Amino acid sequence: MQKTQDRANSDLSKKNVANRILPSIDFPNDLPVSERKEEIQQALEQHQVIIVAGETGSGKTTQLPKICLAMGRGQDKMIGHTQPRRIAAVSVAKRIAQELKTEVGQWVGYQVRFSDKTGPRSAIKLMTDGILLAETQRDPLLKRYDTIIIDEAHERSLNIDFLLGFLKNLLPKRPDLKVIITSATIDAERFAEHFKADNGQPAKIIEVTGRMYPVEVRYQLKDGLASTTDDDDDAQEQADLPEMISDAVAECMRSGPGDILVFLPGEREIREAVDVLRKPGQATLEVLPLFARMSQSDQERIFRPTTNVRRVILATNVAETSLTVPGIRFVIDSGLARVKRYSWRNKIEQLQIEPISKAAANQRAGRCGRLGPGVCIRLYSEEDFSKRPDYTDPEILRSSLAAVILRMKALRLHDIEAFPFVDKPAGRAIADGYHLLQELGALNEHNRLTQIGRTIARLPLDPRIARMILAAKDNNCLTEMTIIAAAMSVQDPRERPFDAQEASTQAHAKYKDKDSEFISYLKLWSWYQEQYENRESNRKLQRQLRKEFLSPVRLREWQDIHQQLKTLVQEQKWRFNQAEATYEELHRSLLSGLLGNLALRTETTREYEGARGIRFVVHPGSYLHRTGAKWLIAGELVETTRLFARTVARVEPQWIEQVGRHLLQKMYSEPHFDPRRGQVMVYERATLYGLQIYQGRKIGYGRLDPKHARELFIREALVEANIKNPLPFLAHNSRLVREIEHLEHKSRRQDILVDDELIYRFYDQYIPADMYQVATLEHWYKSLSAEEKARLELNKDELMRHEAAGISTEQFPKRLDYDGLSMPLSYHFEPGSPKDGVTVDVPVYVLNQIDPVMAQWLVPGMLKEKVELLLRSLPQRLRRHCVPIPDYASGFVDTVAAEPELKEKPLLEVLIDDIWQQKRIRVKAADFKEETIPPHLSMIFKVVDEHGRMLSSSRNLALLKAEHAPVAQESFRQLLGKDQTTKETLEDNLHITSWSFGELPEILEIKRGRQSMVGFPALVDQGEDCRIDVFDEPQEALSAHRTGLIRLFKIALKEQIRYLSRNLKELPQLGMLYMTLGTQEELQEEIIDCALIQSCLAQPWPTNEQEFNERIKDAKSRFGLLLQEVIRLLQQIMNEWALALKKQHLIKAHKAVYEDIRQQLNGLIYPGFLSRVEYATLQHYPRYLRAVQLRIDKLKNDPRRDEQLMQDVQMLQTKYQRRLAQLKGVRDQQMDEFANLLQELRVALFAQELRTSMPVSVKRLERAWQSMSY
């Protein structure tokens, strides 16, 4: 087979030779390389590889292929000559053809991407290095060539390095093949060493020196311009670059005639320089930009020199090598270039501005010595130049190697690690290439080609693009994907001229899509195809495209590439979709190639977090820059001033999961039994390159860890009886466990039920392996015999460690009987839990009637423990009389059991009396430290509605009453309306002006089914008369009855009150002092009410007509005297209050003290205080107010002492205020008494000289607070 192929190639060569007639070959005498022609020919005859290092202008590019042709090469086969750029390949082919006096396509041809201008007679073939590399797949021995010239090798592109390595391996197999490596600036020794012969002899080096004209190099700066990685201070110099260029241009103009070529790093810098150089008054300058993305018409202007106007060409490094700009005498070199570097850490291409190498600088300088002596102005120092690297980093050292690896795998070449590169790639670069191919699914975890890899390797495309097209085949969107893939393979056809930025943006707006810039490509394509099909002529179409700021050349290139992609797809026999693809189909396909460019929007900024923790923003030109998307993919990530995402689209996380399933990192947490699903589950979290795709997803745990899943199933499903519909054995065992647990709660012991571990071991010996779901358990259980099923049932002896002695219904009753009500009790043993202890279910309609005293006694089985702990809280001097304490507590409990009526009193009161009776020791309530009693010895009140649903629960009964007072009252009144007797009584007494309703009972019994409850009747003041009402809370009934009695006494004594009111001479003066609180009329009512209370409402209050009339008779003789007594007391209070207020204003600078005194005064004196405060307490008011004045007087002498004392008071005051707020206006006698204690404490602390009415201290008040029954 091989011999047949060789013979066919030989026959083809002979046919070509017969048709080739050698032209005359001339070598220009003015080119230095012509002088070395014989030396080069001799070296090529003696060596298989030669290195030609020729300076700029030596003529090596055009003359070397002619030298080879002259020595007989290119006869049987072709002379292959590579260039790194298409424009260079085309221009060099035209130049050589011109020198050989032939047409392109005859002796000399070229081949670039999608364009082949060679013929059967072509002896010299110019091509891009990528074309030759592609030919190695079809012709691995390159049998069509006898000579290969690799030009511009110093650029060290990826294709060049791959060719150099390929040729290194090929040369032993093709001894007839000659290779010439050439460039203007080259590390000759390095290449010679790379191509050394088997005998170790390096390749022959020929240096062609001597430019046509000398070039003067001038240095301008002390230090070089900054790169984009420099600090901000250095970067300021780069900001001044346009001005520096302007100065350098002025210097060139002073130095003589000739055009100027300026090398700049990028388009932005060119644009800034254009703005500076096109200043008014510069009519003698034609400023022209030159960069790769320019339209073709703009590029052609560069090669049409003018005669009367000096040109300044502002170029990127596109003008650095074989592309020669005519007429250049001056070069201005910024020393910077925009270089693409691939970050192996961040997986992005970084377009950074970096200092160029010495070789690149010399190449730039060589551009100005073609026509005559030239001048190169370098905008950096000579010292800076000397520190720069000799050569530009090879592309292979700064690129992703995925395409190379894939191609080598497909060609079954050596692994990349063993391939003979001139510069071997870094290990991390190789690893990154492998990683990308694994990301694409082209390689498996062992770095072997997958079916996906074999398929995309057949497509001569970037691996990412190839992967997208393959996915499009599966997702039925090949029609759209080939359009997008072609667009991603060419430069953007949308042009944005310097002077028409806004206009071009508006023109391009019609193609924008709010969700995807890939769809924008489709919109542009659709518009262009419509225009193309309906064109009148190509010229008119081109004019229209330029008007729309679109490049006709790039659009045609897009069309060409699209056609090539269509051909590739058709060759694979893949079908194009006829129906329009959906958004999901298209973007799932794009995702397959862009998983590494996935990003999630941060919550607080417009930044996105990308793969491996990188952060970037959407490019401002994108529609999604403004609207945003939670998840997106980017066609590319480019870093300039910051990291930008270009060509972006919104995607959904579920698509990411589907496409990137092979890359997901999955983590599992919290394995548990799920009763609803009936199996052991685990939470799954998945990330892709550090981005969380989903979390908290429940999946079955059994397939991940069957052994652990079974253990959890037994522990959480069987031992904890956590199955919805338990099997018979489990229901039996659970019932036994609950019974024993109930005993534990009552006895407050956790040592009756055996440990869960023992129950686990019981099940573990019977439950088979791989059992972790209920369905499997049920199926297994049905297969058991009756005897086997019985073995799964536990008995009580197996579950109990010992008997629970003393646990009886008498000691731990199921219900609490109270005033005709029977309320359920429940027990819970869980120290530290709010449910720990005994709980009583209180219907909301009787909430306000529950006496906290009842709760103090708990249940008989818990009383002994509580009494013991109360006795242990006594001081040692008292406690020692009650030892042994357990025995004393037992005796006390027996006494109470024998005399149940004792439980009607507070527990401490009964205990204090018992200690006196038994030991003759005086003990006070404050001696007990009730704060040391554990919470479980305080009853929990669970408020329930009429349906038994819990409304709230707390150990604080007062708080519950305050919180649910309105609901409790409403529920109580609804029940009242259902009791006919009570309803009739209330309706008969709606307007009362005298005691005409008989005796008013203290309580009313109200029936509700088999239970009874009580109500508290009271007189209610209605302004002009009274009515009888029933309340659910005795304190509220007392408060209402008090005001009702006052009204009834006012009506009975109205004549005497009217007379005395007219003769209150002190009233105007008191009214002036009271005016900030109310009117004089309101004060008069307050005075009269206070006097009536003293004369008529002494305890006990009247309960019938006779007692009422006796009080009236009594009051008539005493009322006047008591009224004057009240006025005298009020005068003292108001005068002292006024003095206190006056002094208070003097201490505004002491904000904390001022605020404390303000709150104290507001708590003492407020509208209505005279009739609301007990008269005995009112008599202390003058002393309280004088204490305030004394405190203010002392403040200026020792403010720090006042501050320290105030902290003690405020600690207690805060507790009082918080509790008062919880009561929500419900009057409480204990709180009133504590308020008086607080006032006495203030006297003791701030005005000791006034003395207190009782012993007080901070500690005493703290104990008093703790002893309050809440």
pLDDT tens readout for residues 1178-1187: 999 999 999 9
Q: Does residue 324 carry a pLDDT above 80?
A: no
Size of the chain, expressed as the number of residues it contains:
1270
Q: Is 1181 helix (H, G, I), strand (E, B) or coil?
A: helix
Query: If DSSP states are collapsed to H, E and C, what string results for 658-715?
Result: HHCHHHCEEEEEEEEEECCCCEEEEEEEEEECCEEEEEEEEEECCCCCHHHHHHHHHH
Query: Which residues lie closer than 8 Å to 1142 by C-beta, 6 or more apart?
Result: none
Q: Which residue has the tokens 């000659």?
A: 178
DSSP type of residue 494:
B
Q: Do the Cβ atoms of 871 and 879 come closer than 8 Å?
A: yes
pLDDT of residue 230: 42
Q: CB within 8 A of 278, min separation 6: which ones?
A: 287
Beta-carbon contacts of residue 153 (< 8 Å; ≥ 6 apart): 160, 164, 181, 182, 183, 186, 191
Task: Read off the pLDDT of residues 731-783 as tens digits, 9 standing for 90 and up.
Answer: 998 888 887 777 766 766 665 666 788 889 889 999 999 899 999 999 999 99
What tokens were used for 1121?
């005297």
Lowest mean pLDDT among 268-272, 980-984, 1128-1132: 980-984
What is the C-alpha to C-alpha distance for residues 468 and 910, in angstroms, rounded to an integer?
A: 89
**What pLDDT, on the 0 to 100 scale, is given for residue 367?**
83
Phi, psi dihedrals of residue 412, rounded to the nearest 5°: 55, 40
Q: Which distant-in-sequence residues (6+ apart) come within 8 Å of 542 by Cβ?
A: 552
Q: Closest Cα to residue 61, out of 74, 48, 73, 52?
A: 52
Query: Which percentage of the chain shows pLDDT scores above 70?
Result: 91
Instruction: Write out the two tokens for 519.
Output: 């769809």
Q: What is the DSSP letter of 1165?
A: S
One-letter amino acid identity for 700?
G
- CA distance linking residue 262 with residue 302, whole number of Å: 13
Domain ranges for the chain: 2-208, 215-397, 459-659, 664-806, 808-858+939-978, 863-928
Burial of residue 181 (number of CB atoms within 10 Å: 0-12, 13-18, 19+)? buried
Cβ neighbour number for residue 438 with a 10 Å cutoff: 19
pLDDT at 749: 63
Q: Whole-model pTM?
A: 0.52
Per-residue pLDDT of 555-605, as tens digits, reads 887 887 898 899 889 988 999 999 999 999 999 999 999 999 999 999 878
Spatial distance between the Cα atoms of 16 and 1263, rounded to a whole number of angstroms: 119
Token pair belonging to 234: 């250095």
Whole-number Å distance between alpha carbons of 1257 and 219:
91
In this model, does residue 228 exceed pLDDT 70?
no
CB atoms within 10 A of CB 746: 22
Give the C-alpha separation, 652 to 594, whole Å: 14
The CA–CA distances, whole Å, from 826 to 360, 684, 742 equal 91, 40, 9
Nearest by Cα to 73 from 104, 98, 55, 50: 50
The confidence score (pLDDT) of residue 100 equals 93
Give the β-pairing of 285-290 and 310-315: parallel
- Exposure string for 919-931, b = 16+ CB within 10 A, e = fewer: eeeebeebbbbbe
pLDDT-derived band at 679, boundaries 50, 70, 90: very high
pLDDT digits (tens, 9 = 90+) for 432-484: 889 999 999 999 988 999 999 999 988 877 788 899 999 999 999 999 999 99
* Residue ranges with strand state E in 240-291: 259-263, 285-290
Token pair listed for 506: 């508006």
Rounded to the nearest 5 degrees, what angle is found at the Cα of 1146, between the Cα atoms of 1141 and 1149? 125
At residue 108, φ and ψ (nearest 5 deg) are -120, 130
Given this model, what pLDDT does residue 9 score?
Answer: 43
pLDDT of 787: 93
pLDDT at 212 (0 to 100)? 65
Question: Tokens 């700049």, residue?
Answer: 264
Mean pLDDT score across all residues of the chain: 86
8 Å CB contact between 1000 and 1028: yes
- Angle (CA) 841 842 845, round 5°: 150
Alpha-carbon distance of 335 to 364, in angstroms, equals 9
Q: Is 600 helix (H, G, I), strand (E, B) or coil?
A: strand
Question: Residue 231's pLDDT band (boundaries 50, 70, 90)?
Answer: very low
- pLDDT tens digits, one per residue of 1035-1075: 788 888 989 999 999 888 888 888 888 878 888 989 899 99
215-397 CATH: 3.40.50.300
> Is 2-208's fold the same as 215-397's?
yes
Q: How confident is the model at residue 210 (pLDDT cuts 50, 70, 90)?
A: low
pLDDT digits (tens, 9 = 90+) for 1204-1262: 999 889 989 988 988 887 766 666 778 889 999 999 999 999 999 999 999 999 999 98
**665-674 and 821-828 beta bridge pairing:** unpaired
- Using DSSP, state whether 206 is helix, strand or coil: strand
**Mean pLDDT, residues 849-867:** 90
Domain spanning 2-208: CATH 3.40.50.11540: no
Cβ neighbors of 794 (< 8 A, separation 6 or more) are 732, 733, 736, 759, 762
Q: To 5 degrees, how large is the angle CA 197–CA 199–CA 205?
A: 45
| Mean pLDDT, rounded, for 1128-1134 | 94
Would you list the DSSP string of 1004-1068? EEEEETTEEEEEEEEEEE-SSSEEEEEESSHHHHHHHHHHHHHHHHHHHTHHHHHHHHHT-TTHH
H helices present in 260-381, as ranges? 267-277, 296-302, 358-365
Q: What is the per-residue pLDDT across 483-508, written as a single tens digit (0 to 9) for each? A: 999 888 777 888 878 778 788 888 88
735 neighbors 729 (Cβ within 8 angstroms):
no
3-state SS record for 954-995: ECCHHHHHHHHHHHHHHHHHHHHHHCHHHHHHHHHCCCECCC
Beta bridge partners of 1139: none
**In contact, 1167 and 1226? CB cutoff 8 Å:** no
